[in-house]
Structure 1
């Protein structure tokens, strides 16, 4: 890093005399430009005193070691004239907050994949029921503190600029634009940026080192993918994949992950001991023909079921002529040439506005295509019979959850809403809370557990809790409400139609005398229960 300690006196003096003449992002990306280099030096010399660790992170980053010229502060932080976040600082026109649009200058493919992924839409939680919990139910009026510190730090929020009564941005004494402190700092992966873009690359690629090796490690994903409603991190650690990873060493070689390797990281070539989250969902791998499968920044490319909603569905991706995409649910994918609905949210006056359009499909990635993409990664370590067997088991669990519990509960709750047994949001009634926890918490846990090889989350944290809630909380509460509204007969009929199905016979008729005797005998032998 010695060349960063050079003075470049003449270049710097000339540059600062010119003011903002070089302050355009299109120009700033040129790492060979002497004026850009001089500005980078000035940034480093000052911030090395004020933010030592920040600069040290960059000095040991791939950006600083780039072969085509070091990618420094100004190369990334330069702002275009007219950008709301832009301001004059020490002779350069810059901005503090970067967005995927800035990374796009060098990482066009990765950004395109990311902005078309479900990650980029994570901030749309602000237009959903989930956000009501954090923003209203769990927060004080005016601050939205739970949403700010909780939900939005993973999902992303709307970054807003503080403005005066005339709508002009307020500025600090330094000239920096003032950002609403309740919206920044925020590195949520679906963040809504002032330039209109969605996403934050820093959610996975921590500043200012921006190393791929950080994004490869499960702990990185575990910042957001953990907890009662999406415990992928806990499930991974329980799984054989997680056990193999946690018992491996970080370096290469025998029992090594080679996870700190610079550049590409290919399963079957650079490492082979265990998969991480990025391996299965995003990573490159050696194909059966010896070729290398391209990595992806669209985390949905290999996902065939959606495991998030009340009822799981297969997912097909429709790709439109303008490059935008839409996930189309269903076992039968859309066809090229037909029209499909494209939906997105845009920010207007600090609030979400839904925008829909009918677009022509030019390419389709069916749920089967997506599954085959995942199988390609699986085959690097597993035989075909094992891979196919896994998907048989996984599918059977999802179908069991859907058909035995989710669809019947959804139907009954819908009846209760229509008949006025419950009013308002699901959080205005005990019945609504119970239904929410069935699908949003334990229902997700059981599906994710099956998807990732976590048996305890599939059963005890999953379907066991679903069943307990369904039989002994949801149905009794529903019948209580029906009685209060003089609708007992109607709801007895509806419930009995569901419970009469073979999968619920144990609840209706019990286990039978012989089965109960065997259970009591086994418990006495195993646990010493003499009663």
Structure 2
């Protein structure tokens, strides 16, 4: 704030839903409810989330569009009821959930929430996914994962059977563990070995290993996890695990060569000096 207590251009206007403000308030409402109308109908639309949740690293709107939920919304969403009260928007008003349905809406005995991670079991954006188990607001594992999973299951069971719901999460959890154990863990081990031997460039963005390592978790790994957990099959497989596999093989080859030669860059052929 300036000397008169007015916001400065360095920090305002903004649309960060997790912001902390000088008066103690949190979140920018206009991230979902645009100015002047402050419409609940507008905030319930998937497009309200697409300003941030898109692109190569967390393509959530694209995953949603790839899912059957998104396809149903695309074909008939204009016919649904969007103006029900905050705690009364239930299946029947809509035939498939939007982002707000799963993460925020009051369904059955669930209360509405603006804590969009409240119903989440895993942290899916981190380098390695962990189960939420922290009360530290600065922790990436903020929340109670098991309790959040039970809440999310209530959302699913409002439309799906219990067997369908339980089996879906069994499969999705297996995909997250596959990423953790078959891709992230061994990739991190290779990186640590290269670092210990001084075989990483100081500037990571000029280092093929470090660039590929970054994409493995930040792009492909997130896409695989988000696709699996949000029922977007093409994102889970072709944009996710298939590309994870390609990056992992590339990391293996670079690691093998550097460890064998003790060099970051390939040296000159045997019998030739660097001058040639």
Fold match by TM threshold 0.5: yes
Determine which of 203, 209, 213 is the counterpart of 2:37.
209
Structure 1 420/384 Cα, relative in aligned 2: closer, same or farther at 3 Å? same
Which structure shows the higher strand fraction?
A: 1
Q: State which structure, 1 or 2, has the greater radius of gyration over its C-alpha atoms.
A: 1
Q: Report if the CA contact (8 A) 2:175-2:228 is conserved.
A: yes
Q: Report if the CA contact (8 A) 1:236-1:242 is conserved.
A: yes
- Is 1:373 the counterpart of 2:195? The answer is no
Give 1:257 deviation, angstroms.
Answer: 2.2
Indicate the RMSD between aligned Cα atoms, in angstroms: 2.5
Q: Report if the CA contact (8 A) 2:118-2:144 is conserved.
A: no
Q: Which residue is 2:187 aligned to?
A: 409
Structure 1 274/218 Cα, relative in aligned 2: closer, same or farther at 3 Å? same
Distance in 1 separating the partners of 2:31 and 2:263 = 53
Q: Report if the CA contact (8 A) 1:84-1:194 is conserved.
A: no
- Is 1:275 the counterpart of 2:97? The answer is yes
CA-to-partner distance for each residue in 1:314-352, whole Å, 9 max, x for gaps? 11243xxxxx756585xxxxxxxxxxxx9xxxxxxxxxx
Distance in 1 separating the partners of 2:147 and 2:69 = 24
Give 1:486 deviation, angstroms.
Answer: 6.3
CA-to-partner distance for each residue in 1:291-316, whole Å, 9 max, x for gaps? x4211111111100111112111112
Q: Report if the CA contact (8 A) 2:87-2:112 is conserved.
A: no
Determine which of 188, 203, 225 is the counterpart of 1:447.
225
Structure 2 alignment gaps of length 5 or more: 265-276
Q: Which residue is 2:255 aligned to?
A: 478
TM-score (norm 2): 0.86
Secondary structure class of the residue paired with 1:440: helix
TM-score (norm 1): 0.46
Secondary structure class of the residue paired with 2:133: strand
Structure 1 86/206 Cα, relative in aligned 2: closer, same or farther at 3 Å? farther
How many aligned residue pairs are there? 264
Determine which of 71, 76, 96 is the counterpart of 1:248.
76
Secondary structure class of the residue paired with 2:176: helix
Distance in 1 separating the partners of 2:203 and 2:95 = 48
**Higher relative contact order at CA 8 Å, sep ≥6: structure 1 or structure 2?**
2
Q: Which ranges of 4 or more aligned residues in structure 1 deviate by more than 6 Å?
A: none
Structure 1 alignment gaps of length 5 or more: 1-82, 88-94, 98-160, 162-178, 251-255, 287-291, 319-323, 330-341, 343-364, 488-531
